[in-house]
Structure formats: structure tokens, C-alpha cells
Amino acid sequence: MHTAKALEEKLQASGVPYEEYLYPETGHAFMNKSPEGVKRRKGMGMDDAVVELAWSRFRSWVSRFLSP
């Protein structure tokens, strides 16, 4: 079973709030903003817009569910 699918099933069963977005054209840790991560993404031809979209979604989720 695909890892993302297994995680989704466990999250659904737990009842915790979550959102799932898959980025099929990206590699592991594609949101890494370190110089090494940026260099690796560029070398693989990954689009920085996808990274910014993912960070935007992450910040939105955190502000809704983890902010005081």
C-alpha cells in the first residue's frame, strides 16, 4: 500500500483534523529551504511555485488548528 494512503486511513480513523495534498512531481523534502534543498530542487527541475503553494497550505493549516 502507498505510504500516503496508509497515513490517510490512519488519520481518518483517528478523527484528528488533517488535510492531504499530494505533489506527484516533487521529491522527498521538497519544501526544504536550505541552500542544499534549493540547489537539489533546481537540479531536478522542480517548480518553486509548488513549494510556495505547499508552504502556504501548511501555514494556513497551522494557523487554523495550532494557533492560540
Question: What's the chain's average pLDDT?
Answer: 88
- For residue 56, the model assigns a pLDDT of 96
pLDDT over 90, % of the chain? 37
Alpha carbons 22 and 45: distance in angstroms, whole number: 18
pLDDT digits (tens, 9 = 90+) for 37-65: 888 888 888 888 989 999 999 999 999 98
Q: Is the dihedral of CA 46, 52, 53, 55 positive or negative?
A: positive
Enter the pTM of the model: 0.74
Tell me, what's the pLDDT at 14?
A: 96
End-to-end alpha carbon distance in the chain: 36
